[in-house]
Amino acid sequence: MSETTRRNFLRTVAAAPLAASAQTRRPPNVIFILADDLGYADLGCYGQQDIQTPHIDALAQNGLRFTQVYSGSTICAPSRCCLMTGRHTGHATIRGNAEPHVPLGEDEVTVAQIFQRAGYRTGAFGKWGLGTPPDMHALPTRKGFDTFYGYLHQVHAHTYYPNMLWDNERESYIPQNLSGLNQRYSHDLITERALKFIDDHHSQPFFLYTPFTPPHGRFEVPDLGIYADKPWPPTMRTIAAMITRLDASVGMIVDRLKRYGIERDTLVIFSSDNGPGVMAARHFKSNGPLRGFKRDMYEGGIRVPFIAHWPGRIRPGVSNEVFAFWDMLPTFAELTGQKAPDGLDGVSVLKALLGEGPVPDPDRPLYWEFYERGFSQALRWRNWKAVRLKGGEGAPVELYDLAEDLSEKNNVAARHPDIASRMIKLMDEARTPAPFWETS
Protein backbone atom coordinates (compact mmCIF):
# COMPACT_ATOMS: atom_id res chain seq x y z
CA MET A 1 0.00 0.00 0.00
CA SER A 2 1.42 3.38 -1.01
CA GLU A 3 1.83 6.10 1.59
CA THR A 4 -0.77 8.23 -0.20
CA THR A 5 -3.27 5.38 -0.13
CA ARG A 6 -2.49 4.78 3.54
CA ARG A 7 -3.09 8.44 4.43
CA ASN A 8 -6.35 8.50 2.49
CA PHE A 9 -7.52 5.38 4.29
CA LEU A 10 -6.66 6.76 7.70
CA ARG A 11 -8.62 9.94 6.96
CA THR A 12 -11.59 7.76 6.03
CA VAL A 13 -11.34 5.66 9.19
CA ALA A 14 -10.97 8.77 11.32
CA ALA A 15 -14.42 9.83 10.14
CA ALA A 16 -16.02 6.53 11.18
CA PRO A 17 -18.19 6.54 14.33
CA LEU A 18 -15.90 4.25 16.33
CA ALA A 19 -12.67 6.04 15.56
CA ALA A 20 -14.19 9.51 15.86
CA SER A 21 -15.61 8.97 19.32
CA ALA A 22 -14.64 11.32 22.10
CA GLN A 23 -12.57 8.63 23.76
CA THR A 24 -10.01 8.15 20.99
CA ARG A 25 -8.07 10.46 18.70
CA ARG A 26 -7.25 8.05 15.89
CA PRO A 27 -7.95 4.52 14.63
CA PRO A 28 -7.18 2.30 17.64
CA ASN A 29 -4.00 0.31 17.92
CA VAL A 30 -4.61 -3.34 18.77
CA ILE A 31 -2.27 -5.55 20.78
CA PHE A 32 -3.12 -9.23 21.13
CA ILE A 33 -0.96 -10.98 23.75
CA LEU A 34 -1.23 -14.75 23.63
CA ALA A 35 0.31 -16.96 26.31
CA ASP A 36 1.16 -20.61 25.66
CA ASP A 37 -0.39 -23.29 27.92
CA LEU A 38 -1.49 -20.74 30.53
CA GLY A 39 -4.42 -22.13 32.50
CA TYR A 40 -7.76 -20.47 33.16
CA ALA A 41 -6.79 -19.89 36.81
CA ASP A 42 -3.06 -19.24 36.46
CA LEU A 43 -3.60 -15.49 36.99
CA GLY A 44 -4.36 -13.71 40.24
CA CYS A 45 -7.40 -12.03 38.68
CA TYR A 46 -8.83 -15.51 37.97
CA GLY A 47 -8.15 -16.83 41.45
CA GLN A 48 -4.50 -17.93 41.45
CA GLN A 49 -3.01 -17.84 44.96
CA ASP A 50 0.61 -18.88 44.51
CA ILE A 51 1.84 -17.18 41.32
CA GLN A 52 2.29 -13.41 41.13
CA THR A 53 0.85 -11.68 38.02
CA PRO A 54 0.41 -8.03 39.06
CA HIS A 55 0.60 -6.47 35.58
CA ILE A 56 -1.98 -8.75 33.99
CA ASP A 57 -4.15 -8.39 37.08
CA ALA A 58 -4.00 -4.61 36.60
CA LEU A 59 -5.20 -5.04 33.00
CA ALA A 60 -8.16 -6.98 34.35
CA GLN A 61 -8.86 -4.52 37.16
CA ASN A 62 -8.92 -1.62 34.71
CA GLY A 63 -10.49 -3.54 31.84
CA LEU A 64 -13.05 -6.23 31.13
CA ARG A 65 -12.37 -9.74 32.41
CA PHE A 66 -14.24 -12.45 30.53
CA THR A 67 -15.24 -15.71 32.20
CA GLN A 68 -16.59 -17.73 29.25
CA VAL A 69 -14.21 -17.28 26.32
CA TYR A 70 -12.88 -20.31 24.48
CA SER A 71 -9.66 -20.99 22.62
CA GLY A 72 -9.66 -22.43 19.14
CA SER A 73 -8.47 -25.83 20.31
CA THR A 74 -7.04 -27.73 23.23
CA ILE A 75 -3.55 -27.61 21.63
CA CYS A 76 -1.51 -24.86 20.07
CA ALA A 77 -1.37 -25.03 16.24
CA PRO A 78 -5.10 -25.43 15.57
CA SER A 79 -5.94 -22.88 18.25
CA ARG A 80 -3.75 -20.30 16.50
CA CYS A 81 -5.23 -21.25 13.15
CA CYS A 82 -8.74 -20.55 14.45
CA LEU A 83 -7.59 -17.23 15.89
CA MET A 84 -5.94 -16.14 12.65
CA THR A 85 -8.56 -17.36 10.14
CA GLY A 86 -12.00 -17.15 11.77
CA ARG A 87 -12.80 -20.85 11.30
CA HIS A 88 -13.28 -23.49 13.99
CA THR A 89 -11.57 -26.87 13.85
CA GLY A 90 -14.41 -28.44 11.92
CA HIS A 91 -13.47 -26.28 8.94
CA ALA A 92 -9.93 -25.08 9.68
CA THR A 93 -6.96 -26.02 7.52
CA ILE A 94 -4.91 -26.87 10.62
CA ARG A 95 -6.83 -29.11 13.03
CA GLY A 96 -3.99 -30.67 15.01
CA ASN A 97 -0.25 -30.63 15.70
CA ALA A 98 0.36 -32.94 12.76
CA GLU A 99 3.76 -33.95 11.41
CA PRO A 100 4.73 -33.26 8.73
CA HIS A 101 3.53 -29.79 9.54
CA VAL A 102 0.32 -28.66 7.83
CA PRO A 103 0.49 -24.98 6.76
CA LEU A 104 -2.16 -22.37 6.20
CA GLY A 105 -3.64 -22.42 2.72
CA GLU A 106 -2.40 -20.00 0.09
CA ASP A 107 -5.73 -18.20 -0.21
CA GLU A 108 -6.59 -18.07 3.50
CA VAL A 109 -7.00 -14.56 4.87
CA THR A 110 -5.62 -13.85 8.33
CA VAL A 111 -6.36 -11.29 11.02
CA ALA A 112 -3.09 -9.57 10.12
CA GLN A 113 -4.16 -9.14 6.50
CA ILE A 114 -7.38 -7.50 7.69
CA PHE A 115 -5.32 -4.96 9.62
CA GLN A 116 -2.89 -4.51 6.73
CA ARG A 117 -5.75 -3.74 4.37
CA ALA A 118 -6.90 -1.14 6.87
CA GLY A 119 -3.57 0.67 6.65
CA TYR A 120 -2.09 -0.64 9.90
CA ARG A 121 1.55 -1.53 10.51
CA THR A 122 1.63 -5.15 11.66
CA GLY A 123 4.14 -7.15 13.68
CA ALA A 124 4.25 -10.65 15.19
CA PHE A 125 6.76 -11.70 17.83
CA GLY A 126 6.81 -15.17 19.36
CA LYS A 127 5.58 -18.57 18.15
CA TRP A 128 3.84 -18.76 14.77
CA GLY A 129 3.12 -22.49 14.30
CA LEU A 130 1.13 -22.07 11.06
CA GLY A 131 3.74 -22.54 8.37
CA THR A 132 7.47 -22.96 7.91
CA PRO A 133 9.83 -23.42 4.94
CA PRO A 134 9.45 -24.82 2.35
CA ASP A 135 5.82 -23.62 2.58
CA MET A 136 6.84 -20.02 2.03
CA HIS A 137 3.27 -18.86 1.34
CA ALA A 138 2.34 -19.61 4.97
CA LEU A 139 5.08 -17.59 6.67
CA PRO A 140 3.83 -14.69 8.81
CA THR A 141 5.47 -12.19 6.45
CA ARG A 142 3.36 -13.67 3.62
CA LYS A 143 0.22 -13.70 5.75
CA GLY A 144 -0.13 -10.06 6.66
CA PHE A 145 2.70 -9.22 9.04
CA ASP A 146 5.17 -6.52 8.05
CA THR A 147 7.70 -7.96 10.44
CA PHE A 148 8.18 -11.18 12.41
CA TYR A 149 10.68 -12.39 14.98
CA GLY A 150 10.54 -15.70 16.81
CA TYR A 151 9.78 -19.35 16.15
CA LEU A 152 8.13 -20.58 12.97
CA HIS A 153 7.76 -24.21 14.02
CA GLN A 154 6.22 -25.25 17.33
CA VAL A 155 8.86 -27.91 18.05
CA HIS A 156 11.61 -25.32 17.62
CA ALA A 157 9.80 -23.34 20.33
CA HIS A 158 10.34 -26.12 22.87
CA THR A 159 13.66 -24.55 23.85
CA TYR A 160 14.12 -21.12 25.41
CA TYR A 161 17.84 -21.08 24.54
CA PRO A 162 17.77 -21.71 20.77
CA ASN A 163 20.77 -21.27 18.54
CA MET A 164 18.68 -19.10 16.26
CA LEU A 165 15.33 -17.41 15.82
CA TRP A 166 13.63 -16.36 12.60
CA ASP A 167 13.94 -12.68 11.72
CA ASN A 168 11.31 -12.20 9.02
CA GLU A 169 12.35 -14.88 6.51
CA ARG A 170 15.94 -15.44 7.52
CA GLU A 171 17.64 -17.35 10.31
CA SER A 172 19.14 -15.03 12.91
CA TYR A 173 21.75 -16.81 15.02
CA ILE A 174 22.26 -16.07 18.70
CA PRO A 175 26.00 -16.36 19.40
CA GLN A 176 25.48 -16.32 23.17
CA ASN A 177 23.56 -19.60 22.93
CA LEU A 178 25.90 -21.50 20.62
CA SER A 179 27.82 -24.49 21.95
CA GLY A 180 25.47 -24.80 24.87
CA LEU A 181 26.30 -21.42 26.40
CA ASN A 182 22.60 -20.65 26.95
CA GLN A 183 23.03 -17.00 27.86
CA ARG A 184 20.13 -15.32 26.00
CA TYR A 185 16.59 -16.27 26.97
CA SER A 186 14.38 -16.29 23.90
CA HIS A 187 11.37 -14.77 25.62
CA ASP A 188 13.44 -11.74 26.61
CA LEU A 189 14.72 -11.31 23.05
CA ILE A 190 11.18 -11.57 21.68
CA THR A 191 9.90 -9.05 24.22
CA GLU A 192 12.65 -6.62 23.22
CA ARG A 193 11.61 -6.85 19.58
CA ALA A 194 7.95 -6.34 20.44
CA LEU A 195 8.83 -3.19 22.38
CA LYS A 196 10.96 -1.94 19.48
CA PHE A 197 7.96 -2.41 17.20
CA ILE A 198 5.99 -0.02 19.43
CA ASP A 199 8.95 2.38 19.44
CA ASP A 200 9.04 2.35 15.64
CA HIS A 201 5.29 2.66 15.01
CA HIS A 202 3.74 4.48 17.96
CA SER A 203 2.85 7.47 15.80
CA GLN A 204 0.63 5.46 13.44
CA PRO A 205 -2.03 2.76 13.91
CA PHE A 206 -0.50 -0.67 14.49
CA PHE A 207 -1.47 -4.27 15.19
CA LEU A 208 0.95 -6.06 17.49
CA TYR A 209 0.56 -9.82 17.95
CA THR A 210 2.76 -11.37 20.65
CA PRO A 211 2.26 -15.14 20.84
CA PHE A 212 4.69 -15.50 23.76
CA THR A 213 5.92 -19.01 24.61
CA PRO A 214 5.85 -19.12 28.45
CA PRO A 215 4.80 -21.16 30.32
CA HIS A 216 4.95 -23.95 27.69
CA GLY A 217 7.61 -26.60 28.35
CA ARG A 218 10.54 -27.11 28.14
CA PHE A 219 10.52 -25.49 31.56
CA GLU A 220 13.47 -23.10 31.62
CA VAL A 221 14.00 -19.67 33.12
CA PRO A 222 17.14 -17.60 33.82
CA ASP A 223 16.12 -16.61 37.33
CA LEU A 224 13.66 -18.12 39.80
CA GLY A 225 13.21 -14.70 41.40
CA ILE A 226 10.72 -14.67 44.27
CA TYR A 227 10.18 -18.42 43.92
CA ALA A 228 13.78 -19.48 44.58
CA ASP A 229 13.08 -20.41 48.20
CA LYS A 230 9.58 -21.80 47.78
CA PRO A 231 9.19 -25.33 49.21
CA TRP A 232 7.95 -26.65 45.88
CA PRO A 233 9.40 -29.16 43.42
CA PRO A 234 12.01 -27.50 41.14
CA THR A 235 9.78 -27.71 38.06
CA MET A 236 6.97 -25.91 39.86
CA ARG A 237 9.28 -23.09 40.92
CA THR A 238 10.39 -22.77 37.30
CA ILE A 239 6.84 -22.69 35.92
CA ALA A 240 5.84 -20.00 38.42
CA ALA A 241 8.89 -17.92 37.52
CA MET A 242 8.07 -18.29 33.82
CA ILE A 243 4.54 -16.99 34.35
CA THR A 244 5.74 -14.04 36.41
CA ARG A 245 8.33 -13.28 33.73
CA LEU A 246 5.55 -13.33 31.14
CA ASP A 247 3.61 -10.94 33.36
CA ALA A 248 6.61 -8.60 33.50
CA SER A 249 6.65 -8.48 29.68
CA VAL A 250 2.99 -7.47 29.70
CA GLY A 251 3.89 -4.69 32.11
CA MET A 252 6.66 -3.50 29.79
CA ILE A 253 4.23 -3.32 26.88
CA VAL A 254 1.74 -1.26 28.87
CA ASP A 255 4.52 1.02 30.11
CA ARG A 256 5.59 1.60 26.50
CA LEU A 257 2.08 2.71 25.61
CA LYS A 258 2.12 5.14 28.52
CA ARG A 259 5.54 6.47 27.49
CA TYR A 260 4.15 7.54 24.13
CA GLY A 261 0.80 8.68 25.47
CA ILE A 262 -1.14 6.13 23.42
CA GLU A 263 -2.64 3.93 26.14
CA ARG A 264 -6.08 5.45 25.49
CA ASP A 265 -5.64 4.80 21.76
CA THR A 266 -4.88 1.11 22.23
CA LEU A 267 -7.02 -1.98 22.72
CA VAL A 268 -4.96 -4.59 24.58
CA ILE A 269 -6.21 -8.17 24.69
CA PHE A 270 -4.61 -10.90 26.78
CA SER A 271 -5.43 -14.60 26.47
CA SER A 272 -3.97 -18.12 26.25
CA ASP A 273 -3.95 -20.65 23.41
CA ASN A 274 -5.34 -23.58 25.44
CA GLY A 275 -5.54 -25.06 28.91
CA PRO A 276 -2.60 -25.82 31.23
CA GLY A 277 -0.35 -28.84 31.33
CA VAL A 278 -1.19 -31.55 33.83
CA MET A 279 1.70 -30.92 36.24
CA ALA A 280 1.03 -27.20 36.63
CA ALA A 281 -2.70 -27.74 36.88
CA ARG A 282 -2.37 -30.23 39.71
CA HIS A 283 0.14 -28.22 41.71
CA PHE A 284 -1.22 -24.69 41.19
CA LYS A 285 -4.87 -25.59 40.47
CA SER A 286 -4.31 -23.85 37.15
CA ASN A 287 -7.68 -24.90 35.77
CA GLY A 288 -9.59 -23.58 38.81
CA PRO A 289 -13.04 -25.20 39.01
CA LEU A 290 -12.79 -26.62 35.50
CA ARG A 291 -12.35 -30.28 34.59
CA GLY A 292 -9.46 -31.27 32.36
CA PHE A 293 -6.20 -29.91 31.04
CA LYS A 294 -4.43 -29.30 27.75
CA ARG A 295 -5.44 -32.06 25.26
CA ASP A 296 -8.80 -32.53 26.96
CA MET A 297 -12.11 -31.53 25.42
CA TYR A 298 -13.52 -30.64 28.80
CA GLU A 299 -13.65 -26.99 29.90
CA GLY A 300 -10.18 -27.04 31.44
CA GLY A 301 -8.68 -27.74 28.03
CA ILE A 302 -10.45 -25.04 26.04
CA ARG A 303 -11.81 -22.30 28.34
CA VAL A 304 -9.13 -19.63 28.71
CA PRO A 305 -8.48 -16.33 30.45
CA PHE A 306 -9.43 -13.37 28.27
CA ILE A 307 -8.98 -9.72 29.21
CA ALA A 308 -9.78 -6.62 27.12
CA HIS A 309 -8.29 -3.28 28.20
CA TRP A 310 -8.91 0.09 26.55
CA PRO A 311 -8.91 3.09 28.92
CA GLY A 312 -11.71 5.51 28.24
CA ARG A 313 -13.51 3.05 25.99
CA ILE A 314 -13.95 -0.20 27.93
CA ARG A 315 -15.53 0.19 31.34
CA PRO A 316 -13.90 -2.04 33.99
CA GLY A 317 -15.88 -5.09 34.99
CA VAL A 318 -16.54 -8.78 34.46
CA SER A 319 -18.37 -10.26 31.47
CA ASN A 320 -20.02 -13.66 31.10
CA GLU A 321 -20.49 -13.31 27.35
CA VAL A 322 -19.65 -16.49 25.43
CA PHE A 323 -17.43 -16.42 22.35
CA ALA A 324 -14.35 -18.10 20.88
CA PHE A 325 -11.09 -17.39 19.06
CA TRP A 326 -12.67 -17.77 15.63
CA ASP A 327 -14.76 -14.67 16.39
CA MET A 328 -11.67 -12.44 16.46
CA LEU A 329 -11.20 -11.99 12.70
CA PRO A 330 -14.73 -10.68 12.03
CA THR A 331 -14.51 -8.59 15.21
CA PHE A 332 -11.32 -6.89 14.07
CA ALA A 333 -12.78 -6.49 10.60
CA GLU A 334 -15.68 -4.51 12.07
CA LEU A 335 -13.32 -2.53 14.30
CA THR A 336 -11.26 -1.42 11.30
CA GLY A 337 -14.09 -1.01 8.82
CA GLN A 338 -13.06 -3.96 6.66
CA LYS A 339 -15.11 -6.73 5.09
CA ALA A 340 -14.49 -10.16 6.55
CA PRO A 341 -14.15 -13.09 4.12
CA ASP A 342 -17.24 -15.12 3.36
CA GLY A 343 -17.81 -18.54 4.87
CA LEU A 344 -16.38 -17.94 8.34
CA ASP A 345 -17.56 -19.67 11.49
CA GLY A 346 -16.90 -16.56 13.56
CA VAL A 347 -19.10 -13.53 14.02
CA SER A 348 -18.20 -10.05 15.16
CA VAL A 349 -18.45 -9.79 18.93
CA LEU A 350 -17.21 -6.20 19.01
CA LYS A 351 -20.02 -4.94 21.24
CA ALA A 352 -19.39 -7.73 23.75
CA LEU A 353 -15.64 -7.13 23.58
CA LEU A 354 -16.16 -3.47 24.41
CA GLY A 355 -18.74 -4.25 27.09
CA GLU A 356 -21.44 -2.47 25.11
CA GLY A 357 -23.84 -5.31 24.38
CA PRO A 358 -24.36 -9.05 24.02
CA VAL A 359 -22.87 -11.34 21.42
CA PRO A 360 -25.04 -11.78 18.33
CA ASP A 361 -26.93 -15.05 17.99
CA PRO A 362 -26.28 -16.38 21.52
CA ASP A 363 -27.88 -19.69 20.53
CA ARG A 364 -25.22 -20.54 17.94
CA PRO A 365 -23.21 -23.68 18.76
CA LEU A 366 -19.46 -23.61 19.39
CA TYR A 367 -17.57 -26.64 18.09
CA TRP A 368 -14.16 -28.30 18.56
CA GLU A 369 -12.54 -31.49 17.29
CA PHE A 370 -9.25 -33.11 18.30
CA TYR A 371 -7.07 -35.82 16.77
CA GLU A 372 -4.66 -36.99 19.45
CA ARG A 373 -5.75 -40.06 21.49
CA GLY A 374 -8.27 -40.87 18.76
CA PHE A 375 -10.78 -38.51 17.16
CA SER A 376 -12.93 -36.64 19.68
CA GLN A 377 -15.35 -33.72 19.62
CA ALA A 378 -16.92 -31.12 21.88
CA LEU A 379 -19.80 -28.74 21.36
CA ARG A 380 -21.37 -26.01 23.44
CA TRP A 381 -24.94 -24.88 22.78
CA ARG A 382 -26.52 -22.45 25.22
CA ASN A 383 -25.46 -23.84 28.63
CA TRP A 384 -25.22 -27.41 27.37
CA LYS A 385 -21.84 -28.99 26.72
CA ALA A 386 -21.40 -32.27 24.83
CA VAL A 387 -18.21 -34.31 24.67
CA ARG A 388 -17.78 -37.28 22.36
CA LEU A 389 -14.55 -39.17 22.92
CA LYS A 390 -12.70 -41.59 20.64
CA GLY A 391 -14.85 -42.50 17.75
CA GLY A 392 -16.71 -39.59 16.26
CA GLU A 393 -20.02 -40.27 14.55
CA GLY A 394 -21.91 -43.07 16.32
CA ALA A 395 -19.85 -42.94 19.51
CA PRO A 396 -21.64 -42.19 22.80
CA VAL A 397 -21.97 -38.59 23.91
CA GLU A 398 -21.49 -37.16 27.38
CA LEU A 399 -23.77 -34.24 28.23
CA TYR A 400 -23.23 -31.58 30.91
CA ASP A 401 -25.26 -28.61 32.09
CA LEU A 402 -22.61 -25.93 32.61
CA ALA A 403 -25.05 -23.65 34.42
CA GLU A 404 -25.39 -26.24 37.18
CA ASP A 405 -22.23 -28.29 36.74
CA LEU A 406 -19.28 -26.14 35.67
CA SER A 407 -16.85 -28.90 36.64
CA GLU A 408 -18.54 -31.39 34.28
CA LYS A 409 -18.89 -34.05 36.96
CA ASN A 410 -22.40 -35.27 36.13
CA ASN A 411 -23.10 -36.76 32.72
CA VAL A 412 -26.83 -36.15 32.20
CA ALA A 413 -27.17 -37.59 28.68
CA ALA A 414 -29.49 -40.35 29.90
CA ARG A 415 -31.74 -37.83 31.65
CA HIS A 416 -31.97 -35.52 28.63
CA PRO A 417 -32.00 -37.76 25.56
CA ASP A 418 -33.65 -35.04 23.45
CA ILE A 419 -30.86 -32.57 24.21
CA ALA A 420 -28.20 -35.25 23.68
CA SER A 421 -29.73 -36.10 20.32
CA ARG A 422 -29.73 -32.44 19.29
CA MET A 423 -26.10 -32.06 20.32
CA ILE A 424 -25.13 -35.11 18.27
CA LYS A 425 -26.87 -33.66 15.23
CA LEU A 426 -25.10 -30.34 15.68
CA MET A 427 -21.74 -32.11 16.00
CA ASP A 428 -22.29 -34.10 12.84
CA GLU A 429 -23.26 -30.97 10.93
CA ALA A 430 -20.40 -28.83 12.25
CA ARG A 431 -17.51 -30.38 10.36
CA THR A 432 -16.31 -30.93 6.82
CA PRO A 433 -13.88 -33.78 6.08
CA ALA A 434 -10.42 -32.55 5.12
CA PRO A 435 -7.05 -33.95 3.99
CA PHE A 436 -4.66 -34.99 6.78
CA TRP A 437 -7.48 -35.15 9.34
CA GLU A 438 -8.86 -38.66 9.62
CA THR A 439 -11.65 -39.46 12.06
CA SER A 440 -10.77 -43.12 12.46
Give the domain ranges of the chain: 3-362, 373-430
What are the tens digits of pLDDT across the range 329-341?
Answer: 999 999 999 999 9
Residues 171 and 165: their CA atoms lie apart, in Å, by 6
Residues 90 and 434: their CA atoms lie apart, in Å, by 9
What are the tens digits of pLDDT across the range 343-364?
Answer: 999 999 999 999 999 999 989 9
Give mean pLDDT, residues 124-146. Answer: 97
Which CATH code fits 373-430?
Answer: 3.30.1120.10
3-362 under CATH 3.40.50.1980, yes or no: no
pTM summary value: 0.94
Q: What's the confidence (pLDDT) of residue 438?
A: 83
Q: What's the confidence (pLDDT) of residue 25?
A: 64
Mean pLDDT of the chain: 93
Q: What's the confidence (pLDDT) of residue 435?
A: 86
What are the tens digits of pLDDT across the range 101-130?
Answer: 899 999 999 999 999 999 999 999 999 999
Residue 364 buriedness (CB in 10 A; 0-12 / 13-18 / 19+):
middle
What burial letters (b/e) apply to 391-408, b meaning 16+ CB within 10 Å? ebeeeebbbbbbeeebbb
Query: Is pLDDT of 75 > 60?
Result: yes
What burial letters (b/e) apply to 6-31, b meaning 16+ CB within 10 Å? beebbeebeeeebbeeeebeebbbbb
Same fold, 3-362 and 373-430: no
What are the tens digits of pLDDT across the range 215-274?
Answer: 999 999 999 999 999 999 999 999 999 999 999 999 999 999 999 999 999 999 999 999
What are the tens digits of pLDDT across the range 162-220?
Answer: 999 999 999 999 999 999 999 999 999 999 999 999 999 999 999 999 999 999 999 99
